Structure formats: structure tokens, C-alpha cells
Amino acid sequence: MILLENKMVLFNKLVFKEREKECQEKIQNEILKSQELLKEKEIEFQKKSQDLIDRRVSLAKEKKYEMIAQANESQRILRLEKNENLLARFIEDLFKAGEEFTKTDSYFDLQKNLFEKAIAGLEKGTYYLEIMAYDSAKDQLMAIAKKNNMQIILIDMDKSQIGGFKISDIEKTYKIDCSLKTKIEDSKYEIGKMFYFELEEVENWI
């Protein structure tokens, strides 16, 4: 009887040790799994954190470039507006210079030459001549017209035209515009190109 009990005790010990060993192995495996899972989560978290940092850095760079582009565009617009204002003032100065030019001998000669060229292809007949009432070359133009068998009806040209003259046929089907204002305005594009070129040269030099 005692021998049987001893055997039972021994058996139970062996079974207990085996179970204990299995439990230890399971516990160890679970610990390893937990450590691996924790490591994976740490890596995943680090990756997400880095992705978030990279994304924020990228957005910051994009915002920076956008702000720089906006600043450059604003500067370009301001520079363009400034240049356009300068050009407008320059054209106004040309108009004023034109008014002074009408008081010179060179203007008298210019009027004479322009008038001769303007009527060179015209037939004999009656024409309207718009010219300033006080234009120094008016009498000379009338003499040239008479010499070419042209009858002239004088019309006082508006002061806004600065100087020069305009010729139209009696039916007013066409008009030859040689006013100083028109000549300046027709040359505005070329004047603007030269003006902006000079401004750019000055800006580059500065």
C-alpha cells in the first residue's frame, strides 16, 4: 500500500514538472511574442512619426515656396505698375515737350515737309484742313495748298491735339491725321519698349 502511494506521489511530481515545464514554455513564448509585437509597434510608431514629420516638413517647404512665389509675383506687379506709371508720366512729358516744340523753327519746317508729303498723292479739289488757329506754319501750308490748286476750308483743331494738322476730303470719307498727339500715341508701343529697356538697364546696373 505504501509502495503504491509512493508511486502515486512520484507520478504526480513528474506530471506536475511536465506541466510546469509546458507552462514555462508557453509563458516564455508569450513573452517573446509580446516583445516582438511591442518592437513591431515601436517601429510602426517611429515610421508613422517620421512620415508625419516628413509630411509637415514637405508642407512647410511648399508653403515657403508658395509664399516666395507670391512675394515675387507681388513685387513683379508692383514693379510693373510703377513702370507703367513712369511711362504714363513720360508720355505726358512728351505731350508737354510737344507743346514747346510747336514754338520752334524746327516745328515750322516739320509742318511744311509733312504737309507736302501728305498732299502729294491728292487730286485737285476742296479739302478740310484742321490746324491750330495760332499755328506758325498755317499761312505756309495754305500757300502750298494754293500752289497745288487745292481749295482749303480751315477748321480750328482742338488744343488737345498739341500741334500738327489733319486733312480730309470734302465728303469726309477719309482723314490724314498728322497731329502731334496722334504721332506720339502711335509711337507709344515703340516708346514703351525703349523706355522699359532703359529701365531694365538701370535696374541691372544698380
**pLDDT tens, residue by residue, 49-59:** 787 788 887 87
Please state the rounded mean pLDDT for residues 115-134: 94
Please give the span between the terminal C-alpha atoms of the chain, in angstroms, as a whole number: 118
**Dihedral of alpha carbons 121, 127, 132, 133, sign:** positive
**Per-residue confidence band for 80, with pLDDT thresholds at 50, 70 and 90:** confident
Please state the rounded mean pLDDT for residues 131-148: 94
Output the pLDDT for position 205. 60
Please state the rounded mean pLDDT for residues 122-148: 95
Output the pLDDT for position 31. 73
Mean pLDDT of the chain: 83
Report d(CA 88, CA 86) in Å as an integer: 5
For helices 138-147 and 105-119, give the axis angle rounded to 10 degrees: 30
